[in-house]
Amino acid sequence: MNSLSVRGLTKTYKNGVQALKGVDLDVEQGDFFALLGPNGAGKTTLIGIVTSLVNKTEGHASVFGHDIDRELEAAKACIGVVPQELNFNQFETPYTIVVNQAGFYGIPRPVARERAERYLKQLQLWDKRDKMSRGLSGGMKRRLMIARALMHEPRLLILDEPTAGVDIEIRRSMWDFLREINARGTTIILTTHYLEEAETLCRNIAIINGGLIVERDRMSSLLRRLNTETFVFNLRNSLSAAPKLEGYGTTTLVDDHTLEIEMAKEQNLNDVFAVLSALGIEVLSMRNKVNRLEEIFMRLVEGNANGRGGVGADSGALTAAAARRQGGHP
């Protein structure tokens, strides 16, 4: 059974904006799933419809087989949601917030108190349990929303930008925590702008753009499609212009000591070093420019926006698939 199944979901807002244009999506039980897309792509609208914060225009959605039109209460009982925007009462304490939230899901108060202690401790908020929530730091507020979403131990946890504004140390501890939750059997759907986060955590991915799913694949399969990579070379001596390298992709001089070179998968680094050496350019160190998913994401989104482009050797197939989903031509 799928944790989430969406068919032909559309949403047109009163102002005429068509946020979703017929989304089909399945998320398997136990998955750690990334739902990515640029701002305004339709991610939050899709989550809003599933969690009943937004009324859909057309289509169907079900959560663990519970149709949101016919069994809304049962569907919602399965979901825990961490929204993008802060949505707790800032004048209440973290402890009150999480205990009350458990109550809204029918968790008896003694059980809720036990869970409140467990989750607030796990998310390093126990010391702040009796402080006014508005006094918490941005990262603490985000963690409070995660603790709140877990109070009824949902089968499906939806996280909409859960680590926005959270420092790297806490973000990584939150990743470990989410992996643990997922390992216990909870399906997780994650939207994030930190693509490294999605690449690190998620097994499957969908990319939404302009209200349509433009890509849906296993993370590993998607990453394999990328056939170029950009490397950053730190140089001993300064350069005034980027050298022209035959047979390589774009070469960019970031500053007088930093050179970026785009390389195809089949090209090896020894050859690059040899070419650079022949030009009298001495390399001090080298690193990969961006995480691979970011590169794919940008190509998909930009390609989709321009009606061209795509990912490496499969770019044609991807763009064609995206166009077919939009009912257009590749």
Partner 1 sequence: MSSVAQEALAPSIDLGVIRWIGFKTIVIREYGRIIRIWGQTIVPSAVTATLYFVIFGSLIGRRVGAMGGFDYMQYIAPGLIMMAVITNSYANVVSSFFGAKFGKHLEEMLVSPLPSWVIVSGYVAGGVLRGLLVGSSVTIVSLLFTHLHVQHALVIVAAVLLTSVTFSLGGFLNALFAKNFDQVNWIPTFVLTPLTYFGGVFYSVTLLPGWAQTLSYVNPILHMVNAFRYGFLGVSDVNVWVAFTLMIAAALALFVTAVMLMDRGSGIRE
Q: Tell me which residues touch partner 1 (CB under 8 A).
A: 13-14, 29, 48, 51-55, 72-74, 76-79, 81, 83, 85-90, 96, 100-101, 103-109, 148, 153-155, 184-186
Burial of 32 (0-12, 13-18, 19+ CB in 10 A): buried
Least distance (Å) between residue 11 CB and partner 1: 9
Return contacts of 193-198, CB within 8 angstroms, 24+ apart.
193/161, 193/164, 194/163, 195/36, 195/291, 195/293, 195/294, 195/297, 196/291, 196/293, 196/294, 197/163, 197/171, 198/34, 198/36, 198/293
Contacts for 120 with CB less than 8 Å, ≥ 6 apart:
94, 95, 98, 126, 129, 147
Nearest distance from C-beta of residue 165 to partner 1, angstroms: 17
Name which of 8 and 103 has its Cβ closer to partner 1. Answer: 103
Minimal distance, residue 180 CB to partner 1, in Å: 10
Integer Cα distance of 232 and 223 in angstroms = 20
Q: Which CB sits closer to partner 1, 4 or 263? A: 4
Minimum CB–partner distance for residue 48 and partner 1 (Å): 8
Q: Which is nearer to partner 1, 93 or 163 (CB)?
A: 93
Residue number with CB closer to partner 1 (104 or 324): 104
Tell me the closest approach of the beta carbon of residue 296 to partner 1, in angstroms.
Answer: 31
Q: What is the DSSP letter of 48?
A: H
Which pair of structure tokens corresponds to residue 260?
């970026």
Nearer to partner 1, 165 or 316 (CB): 165
